[in-house]
Amino acid sequence: MMLQAQLHCLCLFTLYLTTGYGQEGKFSGPLKPMTFSIFEGQGPSQIIFQFKASPLAVTFKLTGETDDIFQIQPDGLLYHNKALDRETRAVHKLQVSALDAHGNTVEGPVPITIEVKDINDNRPVFLQPKYEGSVRQNSRPGKPFMYVNATDLDDPATPNGQLIYQIIMQLPKVNNVMYFQINNKTGAISLTREGSQELDPLKNPSYKLVVSVEDMGGQNDHSFSDSTSVDIMVKENIWKAPEPVEIEENSTNPYPIKITQVQWNDPGALYSLVDKEKPSKFPFSIDQEGDIYVTQPLDREEKDAYVFYAVAKDEHGKPLAFPLQIQVKVKDINDNPPTCPSAVTVLEVQENEQIGSSIGTLIAHDMDEENTINSVLGYRIVDQTPKVPRDGLFLVQSYSGTFQLAVQSLRKRDTPQYNLTVEVFDKDFKTLCFVQINIIDINDQIPIFEKPDYGNLTLPEDTAIGTVILTIQATDDDEPHTGSSKILYRITQGDSEGRLEIETDPETNTGYVKVKKPLDFEAVAVHNIVVQAENPEPLVLGVQYNASSSATFRLIVTDVNEAPQFSQQVYQAKVSEDVAKGTKVGNVTAKDPEGLDISYSLRGDKRGWLKIDPVTGEIFSVAPLDREAESLYRVQVVATEVGGSSLSSMAQFHLTLMDVNDNPPRLAKEYTGLFFCHPPKAPESLIFEATDDDQQSFRGRHFTFSLGSESLQKDWEVSKINGTHASLSTKHTGFEERVYHIPVRINDGGRPPLEGTVSLPVTFCKCVEDRCFQPAGHMPGIPTVGVTVGVLLTTFLVIGIILAVVFFQIKKNKDQHNVESAQASEVKPLRN
């Protein structure tokens, strides 16, 4: 028994250690107020805490909400003998007292709080085994139309009581598209976007959903769940756009006038109208019953139709559905008179037009609606001015407004203009319009020359171009300064080469015959010219030009000795600059109009490169050509007739020289100041540029660079930078203080390749402020100190000799002056 009691105490102590949850984190302690948290559902005989009291206490007493669950042993061991249930009581309020041997209270009572912690021991349950609801088609997606609710007895503040809703089935499921959605936290059911657009009670009037609820937030494999069915009826949407409305303009009925109505599917909607055009004056309104009114008279001529939108919102100002389009057409009434297109409508008609010919159309306007009786217009002539040769010369089509000649043709000489007053009317209004009809002259008269023959003209063949050789005149009786009376002269015979032209004076119709191209006695010596006079406007039917519109004259061309003529003024040829002497480089050709022989010669051959065969005109090279000296060589070729007057003419010969690679590369400039500071601290480099005198290709120059001597490669290095530049670099620092002449080979890579060797003088010298400094005795071209001293001594000696001679001459002049003064004093008296 003793061993069994020890084992029981050990078990209780172990249990106590594993299940006690004192607020101070200890399993025993003095008697004081404490709070314990214990998970529900644990087995019986679970130790909570071991209280300790003063030595006077021999036992402990437990009172309060024990529910026959909590007990305390005489030694102060508090425990529960049954499993706790949070859903029965979440908090137990207990009191513990310490008693002495006589049952008197020594300590306490002390409040002890037992908080029962929740475990997931209750499944969620829907409040209804079946839900029913309805929704209108085209309802706004996401707006709830019904709710499902479930409860869970577990603590809602813990995941055990956190419920998640979801739709697990929709019947029917058309095209595998979900028409309904549920808020997973609130159980609110609404339409998806597809459901808002596609639900149709005529196709499927009802749907069944299976909705599940799951605790633990749906995130635990040991969570509980429940499900329910939801039957949904689809109702027809009454939120529909009304039929278009037609309102008569300028109505005199009292306003506002109800014109149509909209209605939301449920009561309580807030209605408003929206016009996207946002006009300054919006003549419509809507009340909270959905009735739409026109608030003032409408004018169709101002605006013939209105399109705006009705909006339904909930009490929070959120749209309940898509806006509805409202269309209003304004019905026309005849409230506008006809209007004329302009103050005066001008029409034209040619004289001699036949009866019934159309003259033109008066198009009046009416602001009332087109293609209605209100805008049908009629026309009637009420006056004609002048009434010459009679009244009623014109008629107008009653409904088209087209004017016609009524009784006879017109002549401009009778009167050039008629003015008509026309009444334009609709079924209620009349308007007077004015029409002016101008009579246009027609081309029924031909030009007639003042004389048919202008005789003979004799001209030398060298008559200058532009010379007026003859004046001709024809007249036309049509209206002056019109296309019917204007005269154009045209040479129809005797000038097939177009050597003559005729200009017309626009005021007088006088024709001036001019030389347009050089006359040529050798080609045609006599021209028998026929001139035709015509109008730019065509003649009317039945009238034709005749002999009166033609005239003639004879042009006799006399011979003039003319210089030879080259076939072209500039001859061009192209050859390579390295052609051999005697190569033919081109040829020229000239002819003498009189058929004489021609001799060719050159002028301007300043370089003496060319010669010409005096008989054939072939040109040959007689010296080496050089493109670099002159790439385009220009000379003049002279053709002189042999015999006769020895007249000559000149043409240009341009010879383009094509480049060959005949110039070796060279330095682009003279490099004289190249230096490195001595002693050098590190290898250094300098840059130089190369060029040559040959023509540069479109790819540019591509030189290659190398040292001129292999023995220099241990000290120097040449590196190419690009096609024209390279750098010369030192390879070490052990150079003497002197001038180095570095040969560099430059190859142009041409065809054939040419190579040049250049020398770059590089000085190693002491530097002051990054500049080369050399004592005068060491600088090339400056004399040494000894030489300088000798030069200075010689200079001083020469200056001394010159000064001595000058001094001696001055002394001599002074002695002579003293002698003369003494002689003068003997004959001249003294002055006071």
Task: Show the beta-strand stretches assigned E in 295-414.
Answer: 305-313, 324-331, 345-350, 358-361, 378-385, 394-396, 402-405
State the Cα torsion 184-189-194-196 to the nearest 10°: -150
Q: Which of 229-243, 299-313, 772-786, 801-815 has the lowest mean pLDDT?
A: 772-786
Return the pLDDT at 21.
41
Confidence of residue 272 (pLDDT cuts 50, 70, 90): very high
Q: Which of 94-98, 262-266, 784-788 has the lowest mean pLDDT?
A: 784-788
- pLDDT, one tens digit per residue, over 536-557 is 989 988 899 999 999 999 999 9
- pLDDT, one tens digit per residue, over 124-181 is 999 999 999 999 888 888 989 999 999 999 888 888 889 999 999 999 999 999 999 9
- pLDDT, one tens digit per residue, over 103-130 is 899 998 999 999 999 888 889 999 999 9
Asked if residue 44 lies in contact with residue 124, where contact means CB atoms within 8 angstroms, the answer is no
Confidence of residue 661 (pLDDT cuts 50, 70, 90): confident
Q: CA triplet 72, 75, 78: central angle to 5 degrees?
A: 30
Burial of 144 from C-beta contacts in 10 A (0-12 / 13-18 / 19+): middle
Nearest C-alpha neighbor of 303 from the set 320, 286, 282, 287: 282
Mean local confidence (pLDDT), 270-291: 91
Tokens describing residue 588: 């020229």
219 half-sphere exposure, CB direction, 13 A CA radius: 7
- pLDDT, one tens digit per residue, over 36-81 is 999 988 888 789 999 998 888 889 999 999 999 999 999 999 999 9
Is residue 6 over pLDDT 70? no
- pLDDT, one tens digit per residue, over 569-600 is 999 999 998 899 999 999 999 998 878 889 99
In the chain, % of residues over pLDDT 70? 91
Asked if residue 51 lies in contact with residue 31, where contact means CB atoms within 8 angstroms, the answer is yes
Residue 700: Cβ within 10 Å count: 9
Return the pLDDT at 522.
82
Return the pLDDT at 824.
34
Confidence of residue 443 (pLDDT cuts 50, 70, 90): confident
Question: Left, alpha or beta for 278 (phi > 0: left; psi -120 to 50: alpha)?
Answer: left
Burial of 701 from C-beta contacts in 10 A (0-12 / 13-18 / 19+): middle
Is residue 493 over pLDDT 90? yes
Return the pLDDT at 289.
93
Return the pLDDT at 827.
29
Q: Report the predicted TM-score, pTM, of the whole model to 2 decimal places.
A: 0.38
- Cα separation, 701 vs 683, whole angstroms: 29
Is residue 374 over pLDDT 70? yes
- pLDDT, one tens digit per residue, over 305-339 is 999 999 999 888 998 888 999 999 999 888 899 99
Mean pLDDT of the residues in the chain: 87
Radius of gyration of the chain measured on its C-alpha atoms? 64
Is residue 831 over pLDDT 70? no
